[in-house]
Amino acid sequence: MPRRASLTANETPKGWLVHVPASMSYTGKLERRYFKDPKDAEVFAAKLRTAYHRGERAGVVGPITATTAATAEKILKDAGLDVTIAEAVRTYVDARRLLDPFSITIAEVTKGWLSARKARGDDRTFREAALAFIAEKETQWSDRYGRNIDQTMNALPEWFLETRLPDIDEAVMTKAVKASVSTPTAIETRLRHVKALASGKGRKKRQKSLTLLSVTQCAAMFRACRSREEIRAVALLLFAGIRPDTTDGEISKLDWSAVKDGAIHVSPEVSKTDTERIIPVRKRLARLLRGHPAGGPVMPLNWKRRFTEIRRAAGMNDPKFQDGTRHAFASHHLVAFGEASTQAAMGHTEGSRTLFRHYRRAVTEEAGKKYFGDHGKPKPIAKKATKKGRKP
């Protein structure tokens, strides 16, 4: 006869040991369970003794049942569902009880759900939709808004990025945003960015016409400069359309070694759009950049503070002048040198209509060429009439 199991807790160097007989183990083999607390070990042993006296044993699972259970477990795991097989079966049974009176199968309900999901619209993941939207619209955004969008994308959890758009609602977006921020203002801001990326519609705001800098304001910017380095920096903003943000804009990354052969070579590392572009150096800009260093940062020391003072001196404190220098460059360059040349200099994607929607303003071709100093030779000044024999 087989020896009767003791089902008691015994003290060992590893802790309090309770043997679980093979007949009561779900693995079909003798198991050893260790406990640090003798009370926990005794409670477990008592439960085993009770089950043993009731005749409860671990049943032997047949090969077909075992295979089916393993398949079911894999289905649940692949679906990412954190439920047991018993819970899944119980849900299935409840669904059958609910649907049978109506002669509807679970397969039919599933097909209907998939059709409804497809009808609800775009089935891309959030990551796919967001990246496509960014690629299409980023050239129209300010540097600040572009940075905010990048920060939002980097902070979103991976599970949300892989969630498909039909499965995303307000609650899901809020949960994803709260994974990285906690203050009400930050949550509201991030949520607004996520909604824009998911919908592909961007910020809803009234379209405003751009305010161009006047000749007086441009002159005031140069008068406010205190050094040759600052004059050159302002010249690059006004006559090359370099993005002006002092934190991570192109002015903060550009090196003088990129200004050569009558052009400014903006590399992908410097460009906001990660693409290379070449900006021609027109006559006025060439004159203002004359004698520039062969290498070294373009942005002068303490430029953030100094540029604020220069803008203030030119009356550019209003938010409408956020990218005023770039707007001035685009509007004048467009009428003076055409759309293709301006599109290339600005770094806009091929086929973009941003120039005609935002930058085409009441600037004449003559005014545009005069802005860049390409308006031709000045007319000779007529000499004043003098009396005979007198030097002029």
Question: pLDDT tens digits for 244-272?
Answer: 888 888 999 999 999 998 999 999 888 87
Q: Kindly tell me if the per-residue pLDDT of 392 is higher than 80.
A: no
Give the C-alpha separation, 360 to 102, whole Å: 64
Structure tokens at 228: 């040759």
Q: Kindly tell me if the per-residue pLDDT of 333 is higher than 80.
A: yes
Residue predicted with more confidence, 384 or 228: 228
Give the C-alpha separation, 325 to 310, whole Å: 12
Question: DSSP letters along 142-195, please?
Answer: -HHHHHHHHHHHHHS-HHHHTSBGGG--HHHHHHHHTTT--SHHHHHHHHHHHH
Of 223, 228, 208, 207, the C-alpha closest to 315 is 223
* CATH number attached to the domain at 215-372: 1.10.443.10
Q: Kindly tell me if the per-residue pLDDT of 206 is higher than 50.
A: no
Give the C-alpha separation, 164 to 124, whole Å: 5
Instruction: Give the tens place of pLDDT for each residue, 6-50.
Output: 788 888 888 888 888 877 776 667 888 888 888 888 888 888 888
Q: Kindly tell me if the per-residue pLDDT of 287 is higher than 90.
A: yes
Range scoring the smallest mean pLDDT among 84-88, 170-174, 293-297:
84-88
Mean pLDDT to the nearest integer, 132-157: 81
Average pLDDT, the chain: 79
CB 343 within 8 A of CB 382: no
Contacts with 35 (C-beta within 8 Å, 6 or more apart), sequence order: 9, 15, 16, 17, 18, 41, 44
Where exactly are the structural domains of the chain?
10-53, 63-119, 126-199, 215-372
Give the residue carrying structure tokens 């540097």.
143
Q: Kindly tell me if the per-residue pLDDT of 75 is higher than 60.
A: yes
Mean pLDDT to the nearest integer, 361-372: 81
Structure tokens at 88: 């899944």
What pTM does this model have?
Answer: 0.47
